[in-house]
Structure formats: structure tokens, C-alpha cells
């Protein structure tokens, strides 16, 4: 959705390694925002983004208007069931319908062989992979690692909303994930204990309001209560720091 940072540029780097031609789309998609969310205020800077794309060797920028993506009398949407109902889907009920619809439209416009998405939106990747499988789309979805600041904060276009003090408090998100990783690596399998230890960290942060802290199976995104040795899981956090809603996750092996 633009306002590009090093996380986006890492996706471009992966594309250029694997593909002959790299296309970047920039489109702040209105259908994935609810009426109470920040669509109108979402950070935008197409001029700076364009220069970044040129300097990083991108072949094409696809910059459609809202009228091109959603012309008058538009009435068709894509719904992925089950995995869209939990976590982000619970707190943002119309979000994934907007995501899958616009991603399918972009795929149809560009017709890529590969599409690169960041792991920070891990549930989104799972939803898109489900759509690709179910609708028999001829595109391979590639998940790329989260890019972080040196202090651990996951890069996000919404980080610009944070005040200096809030940005410091936002570090609790990644610190809680690292704590979970440490507890799991020690052999702990009981999810309730892991989550309670993470929650204790947020209780000390005045500006933090946690939407959820969960552990899910890495492939199905099913929420689990007990970890199985050798299996892979996402530990997920969604939290408001002040008025800014941030998400983050870490992939762990029990």
C-alpha cells in the first residue's frame, strides 16, 4: 500500500533474485479498511516511493486509481472462510474480504508467476495461499522474513504514528515474542503459561491495549492450547500502543 520502507524493499530484492521482471503495485485499498480505521490518514508518498523503486531496479510500477480497481457498480467480492474469522478477522471483520478481493484483481491485472509477501502479515499470507489453492490460480506465493529496526521493532508504515515515548513502549511487542521463543526453547508446551508470561510484560506498559496474544499452527493457523515437539507455530501479537494498532509475530519450533 505504499509509503515504502526496508521491509518492502526486501520483497523487491527477493523478486529480483528469482524473477526476470519485477512489478510493484501501490494501491491503498479502501475495501480492507472499516469505517472507523485510518484509510483517509494512511501514510502516502508516491513521489518518494517511485524514486525508491527506480533506485532498487524495479521494472514496472502499477499505480491504479480506485476507479480502475472498483469501477462504478462493482459488486463482486472474494470470501475465504474459517481462517478469516479468527484473530485479525475477529477484530477487523471486513478486512480479509477486501484483501483477497484486491489481491485477486491485482493478480489478474499483472498475471505474475510469483508474488512476494512479508511474514509480518502472517495470517494474510495464509488467507492468500488458501485463495490461490481454492481458485486454482497460477501464481506461487512466497513468504519473506520480517524486517526489523536494530532495536527489534518490526518495520511498518504505521510506525510513523508513534510518538517518541510510544515507539519505545512498542518495543514490548517484539520483546514479548522473544520471551515466548525463550520459554518454548526451554521445553515448555503449555500455551496458557507462555501467553500469561507475555501478558505480564504488557501489563507494565501504560499505553498498551492488547487485542490478542495467540499461538497457532504455522500452516493451518488453528489456535492451539498445547505444543507438540518438532512442530512449527506462529506466536502472534496485536496491540494498540496509544492510538496505533501494531501486529507482529515470530515463527518457532517446539
For the chain, what percentages of helix, strand and coil (3-state, to nearest 5) are there?
40, 20, 40
Which residue from 220, 249, 222, 244 is spatially nearest to 234, judged by alpha carbons? 249
Q: From CA 120, how far away is CA 23, in angstroms rounded?
A: 21
DSSP assignment letter at 157: G
H-type helices in the chain, by residue range?
A: 6-18, 46-55, 66-69, 88-91, 95-110, 122-134, 164-185, 191-202
Q: From CA 253, how far away is CA 236, in angstroms rounded?
A: 14
Give, in degrees to the nearest 5, the angle at Cα 96 between 171 and 163.
Answer: 25
Q: From CA 154, how far away is CA 147, in angstroms rounded?
A: 6
Instruction: Name the β-bridge partners of 235.
Output: 215, 250
Residue 8: active-site member: yes
Phi, psi torsion values for 174, nearest 5 degrees: -70, -35
> Would you say 32 and 99 are in contact if contact means Cβ atoms under 8 Å apart?
yes
Pick the catalytic residue from 2, 7, 8, 153.
8
3-class DSSP state of 248: strand
Active-site annotation, residues: 8
Amino acid at each position: 500500500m505504499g509509503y515504502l520502507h526496508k521491509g518492502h524493499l526486501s520483497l523487491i530484492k527477493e523478486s529480483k533474485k528469482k524473477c526476470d521482471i519485477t512489478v510493484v503495485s501501490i494501491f491503498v485499498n479502501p475495501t480492507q479498511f472499516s469505517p472507523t480505521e485510518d484509510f483517509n490518514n494512511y501514510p502516502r508518498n508516491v513521489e518518494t516511493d517511485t524514486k525508491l523503486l527506480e533506485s532498487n531496479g524495479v521494472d514496472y510500477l502499477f499505480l491504479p486509481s480506485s476507479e480502475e480497481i472498483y469501477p462504478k457498480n462493482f459488486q463482486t467480492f472474494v470470501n475465504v472462510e474459517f481462517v478469516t474469522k479468527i484473530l485479525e478477522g475477529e477484530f477487523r471483520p471486513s478486512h480479509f474480504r477486501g484483501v483477497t478481493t484486491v489481491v485477486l484483481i491485482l493478480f489478474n491485472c499483472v498475471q505474475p508467476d510469483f508474488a512476494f509477501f512479508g511474514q509480518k502479515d502472517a495470517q494474510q499470507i495464509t488467507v492468500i495461499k488458501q485463495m490461490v489453492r481454492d481458485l486454482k490460480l497460477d501464481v506461487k506465493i512466497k513468504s519473506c522474513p520480517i524486517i526489523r529496526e536494530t532495536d527489534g521493532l518490526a518495520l511498518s508504515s504505521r510506525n510513523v504514528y508513534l510518538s517518541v515515548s510510544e515507539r519505545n513502549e512498542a518495543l514490548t511487542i517484539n520483546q514479548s515474542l522473544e520471551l515466548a521463543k525463550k520459554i518454548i526453547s526451554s521445553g515448555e508446551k503449555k500455551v496458557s503459561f507462555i501467553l500469561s508470561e507475555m501478558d505480564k510484560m504488557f501489563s507494565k506498559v501504560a499505553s498498551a491495549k492488547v487485542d490478542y496474544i495467540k499461538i497457532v499452527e504455522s500452516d493451518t493457523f488453528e489456535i492451539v492450547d498445547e505444543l507438540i515437539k518438532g512442530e512449527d507455530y506462529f506466536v502472534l501479537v496485536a496491540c494498540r500502543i496509544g492510538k496505533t494498532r501494531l501486529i507482529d509475530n515470530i515463527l518457532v519450533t517446539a
